[in-house]
Each structure stands twice: as structure tokens, then as C-alpha cells.
Amino acid sequence: MNYITGVLSVLALFACVSAPVVVGAELHAGWNKAIVEQDTTWDCYLPAAYLASPEVRFPVLYTSSPGGNPGAHGLEAWAERRGVVVVAINDSKNGPMDVIDHAQDLVWGAAEKQLRLHPCLRYAMGQSGGGAASVALVKKHPDQCAGVLVNVHSAGGLPKHIAAVYVGGLADTTHDISAVRATAMALTAAGNQVWFIEDPGTHDTAVHSGERAEPLMDWLLFATCLAHPKLDAAGRAQGAARIAQELTDIAALKDPAAQLSRYEALLRLPSLLADKTVGKQLVNAWTSAQIAAADVAEPVDAHRILTLFTEHAQFANIDPARKKDVGKRLETLRKSKPVTQEWSAWKALRATQASEKKAGNAKGALIDVAKAYQNITTKWPGTWAADQALPAFNRLRQQVEGK
């Protein structure tokens, strides 16, 4: 099944969700700019499938930006591929909350009247103040919304069924990553599906948009298209078809690294793993991809792939026979000298990471941990573990020096 055929077969199931809505003749595929609604404007991006399937209601992404006029945050290609409408709320930005509320309410109502929107697969995205505005929008419409992507902001307090991606910048001096992390942890503890990303960048460079945001938006879509509490039977069937198509598409990829990345994004979703049929299919497909990637890799890379595989939380759920096979493969690989060096460095790294966790905020203990990280970089240069130890050493050095 090619991609277009797959999309159309998935979208056909939307027809059962609700009756069609008449669309104004002025709206066309691609961007529809500066649509006036009283004293505000909004932009709308319609994927080609929207006009090709007039009986279908489509998921929608609402965008905001700290400076206004957010566009699609570079996600036009994603919207086409996934069959998602994008609505840009031009006056949802930094500023008084009453102004933001007013603009959001006007655009929400206008889009509801003029577009065929899915009743509950609605998402929001923004950065900084635009991220806070996106959270506010989702909280105003909890039954109709499913997920939010928040770049470099810590606004939270989301209903339990809302999936969330939070991106924090380690070098962000405008909105400290500790606040973003705290919100992500609180929501996770409350039962939300949450993906927290520590980006090395600043308040500007840590922002995930365009191609960087595509896997995050995919994650939100797959986290909720089968699990949203307001989905009816037809909606759940559509979600199952969407996920089945995604597994087919991943299996067809030629790049093993791309395969693994997309499988592992799905493995972060408790809602998929909880489904007995989908969860088993996903774990089996991921296992096959791991072994296939190791088979074509050089010994050191194969060792890295398989060792990370064994450390993954889902490794415990793979078939016992395949688990035994992976163990034998690693045993054989670790007999070669280059892999022996990698494995020694690996074990030292994991021991040092455990020591850091145990040290907490004790400065003396953290100094010892920093030295251990530094020792890994000097004793086993060029190894994967050394590459992980160097930024950890620099981070702890700055921490204990109070920088």
C-alpha cells in the first residue's frame, strides 16, 4: 500500500464520525491567509486530502507565537502527510491574557463554523508565551482537545487525558529548564502521557519546529488517536487504522536508524503498549528492527545497538527466545578487543551515573562523580561512553563551581 492510498483509507473512517460541514468557497488547499473574524485574523492551512475527502472531519493543530502570526511553525509537510488542518491564531501571543482569550475564542468559533474539524483530535503548539497560550487554549476546550506541544515554557495543569510534549533548553536563561522539567514531572505523576525533551540550546535555539517538531507531533497524534476518552467506536477504528498504517510505513523504511527512532517514539506511548494487539505488534516489529540494524553494523556499533536494546524498559517484554539470541550475540561481540574496550567504558559510565543519582546535591560527592566522568573520557577516548561522559563532566563542573 502506497502512502496516499494508506492516508485515504484511514481518512475514510472519519466519515463515520460526524456529518459534513459546508466549507466557504474562498478556502482552498494550502494556505488561506488573513481570514477576518471581527477584530482579529487567522490563517488556515488545508492539506490536499481535506478537499479530496469532503465527507471527512480532520484533526487540527492550533498554533500560537510570542510575536503573533505563527504560521504552521514549519509543519506544512507534516500536515500534508498526516492529513491535519493547521489554524494559526494570529493574535494569540505575548500580552494581556484577556486579549489572548478574545482572539482564541473568535478563531475557535470561526474555525468550528467554517471547517470540518474532528470532534476531539485537536492539538495546540507554541513557543515561550505562545506555548503558555497553547496550554490555555487546550484547558478551555478539554473535551475537544487531545494534546499540546510546549516549547521553552512551563505552563501546565492539564487534564489527565491531554498528552503533552515539553521542550526545555539547558542554556535557556529566559525560562529555566528546571521549571519546564518540574511541570513535565508533575503531569507524568498525575497520569498524563508526557514526553520531556532536554535540548542543549537557548530560549531561541531549543525550540522544536519544522522537521524537528514532526516526530513530536506524530507522538501526540499517536498518543491520542486511539485513547482519547471522547472517541466513539468509529473514531477508535480510525485511530487503529492510523497506527497500523504507521507500522507499515516504518517497516518499509530502508534506513535502520530511522526505523528505530520511529518505533521508539511509539514505545513511549503507554496507550499503545496497553493495547494487547497493537502493543505486541509494536514490540515485535521493534525487536526485529533492532536485530536487523545490528546485523549490518560494524562490531562496535552492533554492540552499542544491542546493549541499548537490552537496557530499554520494553526489552523485558520481548519473546524469550529472541532475548536469549540477543544475549548470545553480545557475548560473541564482547570477545573482540575493540568491543571489550567499549564494554569496559560502558560499565564505568553506568556505574558513574548511578553514583551521581545517589549523590543528590552533596557537593563533595558530586566532585568525585565529576572526576569519574572525566576519567572515562581520558581512559577510553573515542568510545560511545566517553562521548556521553564529557557533557556530564562539564555539566557537573559548572554545577559544583556555582556557574
What whole-number distance in Å separates Cα of residue 326 and Cα of residue 284? 14
Mean pLDDT for the chain? 91
| pLDDT the model gives residue 11 | 52
Pull the grid cell for residue 3: 502512502
Listed in sequence order, the residues at least 6 apart from 34 whose beta carbon sits closer than 8 Å to its beta carbon are: 41, 43, 90
What is the chain's alpha carbon radius of gyration, rounded to the nearest angstrom?
A: 23
**Span 102-136, pLDDT tens digits:** 999 999 999 999 999 999 999 999 999 999 999 99
The DSSP code for 384 is: H
Strands (E), 64-216: 85-89, 117-127, 145-151, 163-169, 194-199
**What CATH topology corresponds to 3-221?**
Rossmann fold (3.40.50)
Residue 245 phi, psi (nearest 5): -65, -40
Distance, C-alpha 139 to centroid of its chain: 20
Output the pTM of the full model: 0.79
Local confidence band at 403 (pLDDT 50, 70, 90 cut-offs): low
Strand partners, 164: 148, 194
> 14: closest CA among 47, 45, 63?
47
Strand partners, 163: 147
Local confidence band at 72 (pLDDT 50, 70, 90 cut-offs): very high
Local confidence band at 25 (pLDDT 50, 70, 90 cut-offs): very low
Only one residue has cell 566532585, namely 367
Pull the grid cell for residue 168: 526545555
Only one residue has cell 496497553, namely 274
| 225 dihedral zone (left: phi>0; alpha: psi -120 to 50; beta) | alpha
Listed in sequence order, the residues at least 6 apart from 184 whose beta carbon sits closer than 8 Å to its beta carbon are: 164, 166, 194, 196
* Average pLDDT over every residue of 144-157: 98
| pLDDT the model gives residue 401 | 83
Say whether pLDDT at 17 is over 60: no
For 330, the 3-state DSSP assignment is helix
